[in-house]
Amino acid sequence: DAQREAQRFLTMGEASVTLGIMCTVGPRRFTGLLASFQANESDISLHLVEGVPNMLTERLERDEIDIAIMASPDGFPETLEAIPLYREQFLIAFPAGHRYSTFAEVPMAEINGENYLDRVNCEYTNSIDDMLHERGCSVKVVHQSEREDWIQNMVAGGLGICFLPEFSAVVPGVQTRPVVDPEVWREICLVWRKDRELSPAVRRFATAARKYPWLSENRLHTE
């Protein structure tokens, strides 16, 4: 059995990759990577596991997933290897007709008093809350959801504003502007266990992810 498993590992037989993906990663860029990988590596199947960073980290450490694409404001455990893929700025998302539409950028202090839609799974929620508190700002949380699409639809419907990673706005009617004073950025990384020997299939996916042109359609706001 060990010999057969070793042979399968080396020859790509039944090749597959179990990929963890952070639930707040922008779908358009991620699906672009998947389409590119499928076109070039049709002999490898991908099994996707969506989750928040803490859950993905635990599943990596338990060897339940092979590799993950995610971010962490506090860094990753020493047991994990993390290779940066791209950086993206946080924006303020708001509905058409909002006063922010006349802004080129939105200073953090301008968020004070706004109706706010809380993206429960955002890994930067605590960091952003601290920044607002340091500037004497407060918001009125009117709705909370784990669903990114629901939050964006509520923004488009005029229920409030939210912080949103630069490449995550996908719902028509959502307008965005960069947040400044201070700017807020996150780094999306490719992450795996340092002590785990990656299979040929996982190595090929890692190579594809690192070479993918993540920032080819860079933009800082939508009208």
136-172 pLDDT, tens digit per residue, is 999 999 999 999 999 999 999 999 999 999 988 888 9
Peptide bond between residue 165 and the one before it cis (omega within 30 degrees of 0) = no
pLDDT by residue, tens only, the chain of 223 residues: 666 555 544 444 458 999 999 999 988 888 899 999 999 998 899 999 999 999 999 999 999 999 999 999 989 999 999 999 999 999 999 999 999 999 999 999 999 999 999 999 999 999 999 999 999 999 999 999 999 999 999 999 999 999 999 988 888 999 999 999 999 999 999 999 999 999 999 999 999 999 999 887 555 556 6
pLDDT given for residue 12 in this prediction? 47
CA angle, residues 46, 51, 53, in degrees to nearest 5? 110
pLDDT at residue number 7:
54
Neighbours of 32 (CB within 10 A): 16
- Cα of 94 vs its chain's centroid, Å: 20
Q: Phi first, then psi: what are they for 173, rounded to 5°?
A: 95, -10
Strand ranges for the chain from DSSP E: 16-22, 45-51, 67-70, 80-95, 106-107, 115-119, 140-145, 162-165, 174-180, 185-193
Q: Which pTM was predicted? A: 0.86
User: Measured between alpha carbons, how far is 139 from 159 in angstroms, rounded to an integer?
Assistant: 13
Predicted local distance difference test score (pLDDT) of residue 4: 57
Which run of H or E residues covers position 203? helix 200-211
